[in-house]
Every structure is written in C-alpha cells, then in structure tokens.
Structure 1
Amino acid sequence: MEFSKEPSEEEKNNWHNDSNNWVWGMFYYNPKDKRMFPPKKIKELGWTINFANSNSVFLCVVLILVLMIISESVK
C-alpha cells in the first residue's frame, strides 16, 4: 500500500497557475489539491476556498449559518 505524499511546492504552483482549476476565473476547484484554503489567484490578497474539498465547503456553510443566526438574534 502506497501512502499519498504531500505535493511539492512546484506542483502546488502548477495547480494554482492552471486556468482549468479556476471556475469563471475566481472560484478555485481542484480535486487533486487537498488544501482547504489555497492562495487566491493573486496570492498577495490572501486565501480562497477549494470548492472541490468537501471539508472546506462544509466549513464555509457552517460559518454562513452561524453568521445568519447571530445577525437574526441582534435584531
């Protein structure tokens, strides 16, 4: 049995620069990339969500729900 190894920085950069991994040029979707929050297309602007990673999508939905509950309780 072979264990999956951590991809190299070069491979991560290749994924990041591949336009096929960017839906509409702004949503990162790469099932090979296991990172939840890869860098944005312009790396200096922070991180984005890898929409191919179910954990990051789940975390984002939970965060949105919590913010909605908090905003309703403030009213």
Structure 2
Amino acid sequence: MDIDPVDNIVNYKVGIIYWNPGDSRLIVPKRERSMGYTLNFAHRLNILILVVITALVIYTAMYLQ
C-alpha cells in the first residue's frame, strides 16, 4: 500500500513545515485534511511567492500608515 507523501512525518520540518523536493505539488493538503492546505516549501516557486508576500507586508507597513 502506497502512502501519500503528505502523511509521512519524515517530510515535515519542525513538525509543521512540509518539505518534500520529490513532490511536484506547490499546494498540498495538510495531514489533518479538514484543516485545509499548506505549501510545499521545497518547491522553487514558493520562494517567489514568499518574497512577494513579504514585500507586500513591508510596503503596507511602511507606506499605508
């Protein structure tokens, strides 16, 4: 029986950050499916997404007071 990589605890850093370079999905369901989705932080596109979100937060904090 094949187990979904999301259910394998080895693919989590610090127990909450999903990190699986072998998984091509950008957004994956959480281990507890009813809790929604999380990001695969090993996916290259996530770096861009996190930089954009961080830049928006900084811009908002600095210029929209």
- Please report the TM-score for the alignment, with normalisation by the length of structure 2: 0.82
Distance 2:50 2:61 in 1: 16
Partner of 1:37: 27
Moved over 4 A (4+): none
* Structure 1 residue 56 displacement after superposition: 1.4
Counterparts of 1:57 and 1:43, CA distance in 2: 24
Shift of 1:41: 2.3
Equivalent residue pairs, number: 65
How many percent identity over aligned positions? 25
Per-residue CA deviations over 1:30-65 (Å, capped at 9, x if unaligned) read 011111111122221111111110101221221121
